[in-house]
Amino acid sequence: MSKRWLLQQIKDEEAVKRIMQEINVDEKIASMLVLRGVTNFDEAKKFFRPSLDDLHNPFLMKGMDVAVDRLSKAIQQNENILVYGDYDVDGTTAVSLMYSFLTSFYPNVSYYIPDRYTEGYGISFKGIDFASDNKFSFIISLDCGIRSVDKINYAKEKNIDFIVCDHHLPGDEIPNAVAVLDPKQNDCNYPFKELTGCGVGYKLIQAYCLKNNIPIENTYQYLDLLAISCAADIVPIIGENRVLTFFGLKQLNENPRPGIKALLEQSNVKKNLTVSDLVFIIGPRINAAGRIQSGMNAVELLISTNIDKARDTALLINKNNLERKELDVQITNEALQMIEENSVLQQRKTTVLYSEQWHKGVIGIVASRLTEKYYRPTILLTASNGKATGSARSVKDFDVHAAIEACSDLLEQFGGHKYAAGLTLPIENLEKFIERFEEVVSRCIHDDMLIPAIEIDTFINLSDISPKFYRLIKQFAPFGPGNLSPMLATKNVLVKPDSLKIVGNNHLKAIIYQQENPSIIMDMIAFNLGEWFDYLYSGKLIDICYHIEENEWNGNVSLQLNVKDIKVSN
């Protein structure tokens, strides 16, 4: 699939000059910093030297005073507290954080993760009945609850109070909880809107500590959970998320909790973790517990203080992940076949597929794969409890949540974010929904949104890539949405033909140089771009866009270019 290269535009040239002077960097580095919102010395200091002192006062969040007072009252009156969270990574890390914090000084706390198959996403009537039957008078919900108006009313009838800690978009009606903590509420003045569910939970324990004169340093042991939630939930790694991820990664690498240590042993990972490792190694395994068996196992792993017990749970979760991978491959192949055999589907601007045989725990992953392959808003649905239920994924700049909301009269429930959402509808509404969703998306989406875009930070020459240049780029980390690893581009590149080879599954490896400066050479790896082999071997000029990375082989470390796309030079 061809891709658009979009050179990001600098809107403030004066800021580039100022940064060059104030922190003594070249124009390329200064431009990349300005693109990331760094325009002066103080902002550069915060960017390169994150500090936990830069976290916002939690009491700026609407409802925080009331939430802390209610939590304090529960503890003073010896109430049973139930910590309730979703079954994904954000939910299970949030529950682990809140449960670990509370049980460090208060015994009457338990946790509850709903079953993906019998209860579905978020707060459930079954979960509230469990709380009532087991004499819990107070529930803290994490990563869910903002749209659970009827469920929280039901809890109120059973004399159960709720504090909602959520980060999803609210509906028209806010639940009648004791306190609702969600920075995305229209009337919430909290300065940072992109916290994870785990992040909102952290703000609550931060506020509790401030109110009760508990050293705030006591909360730092949970920053590893926050880093995992930020990475797995694909939130912007800017502002508070960047600070939390920076220090969370530091803790994960220096002193991982037993559960993470056991998971890393199962994964044979023996290097310093990055955000990318959390996304592709840690996150999927934690997620697999709720997808295949129970999210309760993920919490059990993350709160474990005993390495032997943690290893047993990690072994179980790793088995869940292997099963998840097999289902992933099977369902992806079935979905691809459905599209390839249906010419009408191929002409649409959306992909909506349904099979009652598909595994509910895996369809969100497959929706992501189809979005990547066909690059259009995608929904995969399966049968669950007599309904069609599933996951939606979107393309850059298109709000799939808003498109689903435009079809809400056909749905029983939905929720999520701009780029990812979940939904449930009566099976008899399926055909109407497929047509309406296509109609809504076709009306709202621009054609260029259906072509993947690569945002280029800046064009450079290979001679610009010095050890200092890379050292500075490395300090831009942690990388993630909002602060991606710099995407660089170089024109008029040639490949040394005798170095060119196909490795692995259709990947290119070569030594490259620029026509105007053949003495400067670099190693290049280009994943899934093997179709360019003949063109490159013929000695024709190309333009490349890439990330710079370190390649370690037999104990030797060298720089290489991880090429993301190739174009014919003009």
- When pLDDT is cut at 50, 70 and 90, the band that residue 551 belongs to is confident
Cα(399)–Cα(418) distance, rounded to whole angstroms? 4
pLDDT digits (tens, 9 = 90+) for 211-222: 999 999 999 999
Intervals of CATH 2.40.50.460 along the chain: 454-568
CATH 3.10.310.30 positions along the chain are 342-450
Q: Using DSSP, state whether 224 is helix, strand or coil.
A: helix
490, 460 contact by CB (below 8 A) = yes
Q: Looking at residue 342, what is its pLDDT?
A: 93
Q: With a cut of 90, say whether residue 193 has pLDDT above it.
A: yes
pLDDT greater than 80 at residue 264? yes
Query: 376 falls in which pLDDT band (50, 70, 90)?
Result: very high
Q: Strand 4-7 and strand 161-165: pairing?
A: unpaired
Q: Say if CB 81 and CB 99 are below 8 A apart.
A: no
Summarize pLDDT for 136-182 with one digit per residue, the tens.
Answer: 999 999 999 999 999 999 999 999 999 999 999 898 999 999 999 99
Q: Specify which residues 424 forms β-bridges with.
A: 389, 413
Q: Are 114 and 122 in contact (CB under 8 A)?
A: yes
Q: First CA to last CA across the chain, in angstroms?
A: 20
Among the residues of 341-450, which ranges form H helices?
Answer: 343-347, 363-374, 400-405, 430-444
DSSP 477: P
According to DSSP, the residues that pair with 545 across neighbouring strands are 489, 565
445 phi, psi to nearest 5 deg: -90, 140
Strands 413-416 and 387-393: unpaired
pLDDT at 309 over 90: yes
Identify the band that residue 126 occupies on the pLDDT scale cut at 50, 70 and 90: very high
Per-residue pLDDT for 269 more than 90? no
| Average pLDDT, integer, range 247-266 | 96
412-449 pLDDT per residue, tens: 989 888 889 999 999 999 999 999 999 999 999 999 99
Percent of the chain whose pLDDT exceeds 90: 90
CATH architecture of 58-219: Alpha-Beta Complex (3.90)
Sort 250 into a burial class: Cβ within 10 Å, 0-12 / 13-18 / 19+.
middle
The encoded tokens of residue 482 equal: 């909002």
Q: What six digits make up the tokens of 242? A: 């960047």
Beta bridge partners of 301: none
Reduce the secondary structure of 433-453 to three states and give it as a string. HHHHHHHHHHHHCCHHHHCCE
Cα angle 96, 203, 194 (rounded to 5 degrees) comes to 95
The predicted pLDDT at position 385 comes to 87
Q: Please state the pTM of the whole predicted model.
A: 0.91
> Is residue 373 very low, low, confident or very high in pLDDT (cuts 50, 70, 90)?
very high
Q: Which pLDDT band, with edges at 50, 70 and 90, does 533 fall under?
A: very high
Delimiting residues of CATH 3.90.1640.30 domain(s) in the chain: 58-219
Helices (H) and strands (E) in the chain, counts: 21, 19
Tell which residue, 299, 287, 279, 196, has the closest CA to residue 244.
196
Give yes or no for a contact between 303 and 251, defined as CB atoms under 8 angstroms apart. Answer: no
Q: Which CATH architecture has domain 342-450?
A: Roll (3.10)
Q: What is the 3-state secondary structure (H, E, C) of 544-557?
A: EEEEEEEEEECCEE
478 upstream amide cis, omega within 30 of 0: yes
| E strand residue ranges, 394-498 | 413-416, 420-426, 453-456, 458-459, 488-495
**CATH architecture designation of domain 454-568:** Beta Barrel (2.40)
Triad 488, 502, 566: Cα angle to 5°:
30
Q: For 65-83, what is each residue's pLDDT tens digit?
A: 999 999 999 999 999 999 9
CA 9, chain centre distance (Å): 26
